Amino acid sequence: MADVRGKVRSVAQANAAPSQPKYSPSEPNYWLARVDRVSFKADHLFKGIGARSFIQVLYDEYLQNLSTQSLDDAIDAASHLETRMDRYHGRILQLSGVGDDLKKVEAIQKRVTDAIRGMQEILIYGMGDDIKELKALHSRNKLVFQSLTV
Protein backbone atom coordinates (compact mmCIF):
# COMPACT_ATOMS: atom_id res chain seq x y z
CA MET A 1 0.00 0.00 0.00
CA ALA A 2 2.83 2.41 0.86
CA ASP A 3 4.44 1.64 -2.52
CA VAL A 4 1.23 2.68 -4.35
CA ARG A 5 1.02 5.91 -2.35
CA GLY A 6 4.64 6.68 -3.23
CA LYS A 7 3.94 6.18 -6.94
CA VAL A 8 0.82 8.34 -6.79
CA ARG A 9 2.74 11.06 -4.93
CA SER A 10 5.59 11.01 -7.47
CA VAL A 11 3.16 11.27 -10.39
CA ALA A 12 1.36 14.16 -8.69
CA GLN A 13 4.65 15.95 -8.06
CA ALA A 14 5.72 15.49 -11.69
CA ASN A 15 2.45 17.09 -12.86
CA ALA A 16 2.53 19.94 -10.34
CA ALA A 17 3.34 23.50 -11.33
CA PRO A 18 6.89 24.64 -10.60
CA SER A 19 7.29 25.76 -7.01
CA GLN A 20 7.70 29.43 -6.25
CA PRO A 21 11.26 30.31 -5.29
CA LYS A 22 11.76 32.82 -2.50
CA TYR A 23 12.31 36.20 -4.10
CA SER A 24 11.22 39.66 -3.14
CA PRO A 25 8.49 41.36 -5.23
CA SER A 26 11.06 44.05 -5.93
CA GLU A 27 13.16 41.53 -7.88
CA PRO A 28 12.45 40.61 -11.52
CA ASN A 29 12.94 36.92 -10.69
CA TYR A 30 9.90 37.06 -8.40
CA TRP A 31 7.73 37.98 -11.38
CA LEU A 32 9.57 35.71 -13.82
CA ALA A 33 8.81 32.75 -11.57
CA ARG A 34 5.13 33.65 -11.83
CA VAL A 35 5.44 33.92 -15.59
CA ASP A 36 6.86 30.39 -15.61
CA ARG A 37 3.86 29.19 -13.62
CA VAL A 38 1.47 30.81 -16.12
CA SER A 39 3.35 29.12 -18.96
CA PHE A 40 3.02 25.79 -17.16
CA LYS A 41 -0.69 26.38 -16.59
CA ALA A 42 -1.18 27.31 -20.26
CA ASP A 43 0.49 24.03 -21.25
CA HIS A 44 -1.82 22.23 -18.83
CA LEU A 45 -4.87 24.05 -20.23
CA PHE A 46 -3.87 23.07 -23.76
CA LYS A 47 -3.56 19.46 -22.57
CA GLY A 48 0.10 19.31 -23.56
CA ILE A 49 -0.77 19.20 -27.27
CA GLY A 50 -0.32 22.89 -28.02
CA ALA A 51 -2.89 25.61 -28.55
CA ARG A 52 -3.52 24.86 -32.22
CA SER A 53 -4.27 21.17 -31.66
CA PHE A 54 -6.27 21.92 -28.53
CA ILE A 55 -8.46 24.44 -30.35
CA GLN A 56 -8.89 21.97 -33.22
CA VAL A 57 -10.31 19.51 -30.69
CA LEU A 58 -12.68 22.22 -29.40
CA TYR A 59 -13.69 23.05 -32.99
CA ASP A 60 -14.44 19.40 -33.78
CA GLU A 61 -16.37 19.03 -30.53
CA TYR A 62 -18.37 22.17 -31.28
CA LEU A 63 -19.34 20.92 -34.76
CA GLN A 64 -20.31 17.57 -33.32
CA ASN A 65 -22.68 18.78 -30.61
CA LEU A 66 -23.13 22.53 -31.35
CA SER A 67 -22.51 23.37 -27.71
CA THR A 68 -20.25 26.28 -26.84
CA GLN A 69 -19.70 25.13 -23.24
CA SER A 70 -16.19 23.75 -23.82
CA LEU A 71 -15.20 26.89 -25.72
CA ASP A 72 -16.62 29.12 -22.99
CA ASP A 73 -14.77 27.19 -20.28
CA ALA A 74 -11.47 27.27 -22.17
CA ILE A 75 -11.81 31.00 -22.91
CA ASP A 76 -12.53 31.71 -19.25
CA ALA A 77 -9.48 29.76 -18.11
CA ALA A 78 -7.20 31.35 -20.72
CA SER A 79 -8.55 34.83 -19.94
CA HIS A 80 -7.57 34.33 -16.31
CA LEU A 81 -4.02 33.52 -17.45
CA GLU A 82 -4.05 36.53 -19.77
CA THR A 83 -4.99 38.83 -16.89
CA ARG A 84 -2.10 37.53 -14.83
CA MET A 85 0.30 37.96 -17.75
CA ASP A 86 -0.80 41.58 -18.19
CA ARG A 87 0.06 42.24 -14.55
CA TYR A 88 3.39 40.43 -14.73
CA HIS A 89 4.29 42.22 -17.96
CA GLY A 90 3.91 45.57 -16.23
CA ARG A 91 6.01 44.51 -13.27
CA ILE A 92 8.82 43.12 -15.42
CA LEU A 93 8.82 46.27 -17.56
CA GLN A 94 9.10 48.43 -14.44
CA LEU A 95 11.87 46.36 -12.87
CA SER A 96 13.91 45.21 -15.87
CA GLY A 97 12.97 47.55 -18.68
CA VAL A 98 13.01 46.35 -22.26
CA GLY A 99 15.20 43.28 -22.61
CA ASP A 100 15.30 39.49 -22.57
CA ASP A 101 13.03 39.20 -19.53
CA LEU A 102 10.34 41.26 -21.21
CA LYS A 103 10.68 39.30 -24.46
CA LYS A 104 10.08 36.08 -22.55
CA VAL A 105 6.95 37.53 -20.95
CA GLU A 106 5.67 38.83 -24.28
CA ALA A 107 6.16 35.47 -25.99
CA ILE A 108 4.05 33.68 -23.37
CA GLN A 109 1.54 36.51 -23.35
CA LYS A 110 1.18 36.27 -27.15
CA ARG A 111 0.68 32.51 -27.01
CA VAL A 112 -2.20 32.88 -24.55
CA THR A 113 -3.76 35.89 -26.32
CA ASP A 114 -3.62 34.24 -29.75
CA ALA A 115 -5.27 31.12 -28.37
CA ILE A 116 -8.08 33.22 -26.90
CA ARG A 117 -8.59 34.98 -30.24
CA GLY A 118 -8.77 31.62 -32.00
CA MET A 119 -11.36 30.26 -29.60
CA GLN A 120 -13.39 33.47 -29.70
CA GLU A 121 -13.57 33.34 -33.49
CA ILE A 122 -15.20 29.90 -33.38
CA LEU A 123 -17.55 31.13 -30.67
CA ILE A 124 -18.54 34.19 -32.71
CA TYR A 125 -19.44 32.11 -35.76
CA GLY A 126 -21.28 29.67 -33.52
CA MET A 127 -23.31 32.40 -31.85
CA GLY A 128 -24.16 33.85 -35.26
CA ASP A 129 -25.38 30.47 -36.46
CA ASP A 130 -23.01 30.73 -39.42
CA ILE A 131 -21.75 27.15 -39.35
CA LYS A 132 -21.43 26.99 -43.13
CA GLU A 133 -19.05 29.96 -43.17
CA LEU A 134 -17.12 28.54 -40.22
CA LYS A 135 -16.63 25.25 -42.07
CA ALA A 136 -15.63 27.07 -45.27
CA LEU A 137 -13.00 29.12 -43.45
CA HIS A 138 -11.71 26.00 -41.74
CA SER A 139 -11.40 24.10 -45.01
CA ARG A 140 -9.35 26.99 -46.45
CA ASN A 141 -7.18 27.18 -43.27
CA LYS A 142 -8.31 30.76 -42.68
CA LEU A 143 -9.33 30.52 -39.04
CA VAL A 144 -7.11 32.33 -36.55
CA PHE A 145 -6.18 29.18 -34.65
CA GLN A 146 -5.00 27.48 -37.83
CA SER A 147 -2.18 29.99 -38.13
CA LEU A 148 -0.84 29.27 -34.63
CA THR A 149 2.54 27.61 -34.60
CA VAL A 150 2.18 25.89 -31.22
| pLDDT tens profile 97-146 | 998 999 999 999 999 999 999 999 999 988 877 889 999 999 999 999 99
Is residue 7 pLDDT above 60, yes or no?
A: no
What is the pLDDT, as a whole number, of residue 11? Answer: 45
What is the pLDDT, as a whole number, of residue 9? Answer: 52
What does pLDDT average to over the chain? 86
Is residue 12 pLDDT above 80, yes or no?
A: no
What is the pLDDT, as a whole number, of residue 121? Answer: 94
CA 130 – CA 147 distance, rounded (Å): 21
**Lowest-confidence range among 10-19, 46-55, 61-70, 103-112?**
10-19
What is the pLDDT, as a whole number, of residue 24? Answer: 79
CA 78 – CA 82 distance, rounded (Å): 6
What is the pLDDT, as a whole number, of residue 4? Answer: 46
Is residue 84 pLDDT above 90, yes or no?
A: yes
**Residue 82: helix, strand or coil by DSSP?**
helix
Please classify residue 21 by burial: count the beta carbons closer than 10 Å to its beta carbon, then call 0-12 exposed, 13-18 middle and 19+ buried.
exposed
